[in-house]
Copies of this chain bind each other. A is one copy, B any other.
Amino acid sequence: MNDRLNRQIAVVGLGLMGSSIVVSLLASGYRVVALAPIPGEKNPAIQHIVTLLRHADKSNLLPKGLDYCVRNLTVTEDYREIGGCTFVQECVIEDMGIKNKVYHQITNHVSRETVIASNTSAIPISDLQQFVSNPHRFIGVHWAEPAYMTRFLEVTCGAKTDLDIAKRVMELGKSWGKEPTLLRKDIRGFITNRLMYAVYREALTLVENGDVTMEDADKVFRYDVGSWITLMGIFRRMDFMGFSDYIDSFEGILPKLSNRTDVPDMMRPLVAERARGIHNGKGFYDYNEQQAKAWEEAFAQFNKEIYDLATRYTEKHISEKAYNEEKKLSKI
């Protein structure tokens, strides 16, 4: 996987997520073989990828331009075309049987050196690993939507993944403009989900107990947590708050937190009526067609703005500022 010599990556599975990943890789200068494993998926995928490329271009995310990206793209249904790729990103649906078939095809067509990555967020990497002939080169690489406009990339080792491979995938992720994170053990729910389900559990419990309304819990996260999270994350937030009260707070608050393991009651009727949130108008909140559209548009726009904002506040920027200040002082 020498990405200096071979800047060609295969993406297998061209649904919403796969197409968006293709665009992200093209935007960072890679050649991409985009493989549609489902008959009939190829032409709609081409159209969708081109639409996304135009959007990325309008958002100034294609430093080498749209034409360059289009020239670097191959869309195919033929597994033989991925033969030269040393990194394959799988993003087909979350179905063990289908993934098994796809891995079988992939391993039949690539070299033993090729790293195979799954975008799964639901199936343990250690379980998927058993389907490939070279499990130590199999790894989880989980993207966020839209892939070309987020910095998130979650790299997850399965039980048999070689840690050196993981480190090289982390470097590869950086070359895609991401801020990859490494989960060394294949724990259920990976990192984001673990942390967010801890929040969901507590929030659902507070609302079910009548302590707070859903709307107010949302406001708290938007206006309090939202005002620092993109800059600080979790641990640096604690550094900002100082530590004097923490022991008291941990001792006082942890015993009161919800430890439930059952599905909160608020979820059940939603699942029963096949709620799909903004996608069919039924969720914790209700949405008519215009409202769903307004929220989707707001997110697309917001996402672009927060991406730009985050770019100007990376740790690297802040450390460099501190370093330059220090150098200036030492010269006086």
Contact = CB atoms under 8 A, between A and B. Distances in A.
Given A198-B199, A201-B257, A214 B235 contact: yes
A169 to B, nearest CB: 14
Interface string A310-332: 10010001110111011001000
Contact of A298 (B180, B203, B313): B313
Given A249-B189, A322-B294, A242 B276 contact: yes
Interface in A231-276: 231-236, 238-264, 267-268, 270-271, 274-276
A210 B185 CA distance: 8
Nearest to A307: B227
Interface residues of A, number: 125
Q: Which of A187, A212, A234, A241 has the most CB of B within 10 A?
A: A234
Contact of A189 (B242, B256, B271): B256
A217 interface: yes
A79 B280 CA distance: 58
Interface in A179-199: 179-185, 187-189, 191-199
Interface stretch (A21-29, A131-139, A284-292): A284-292
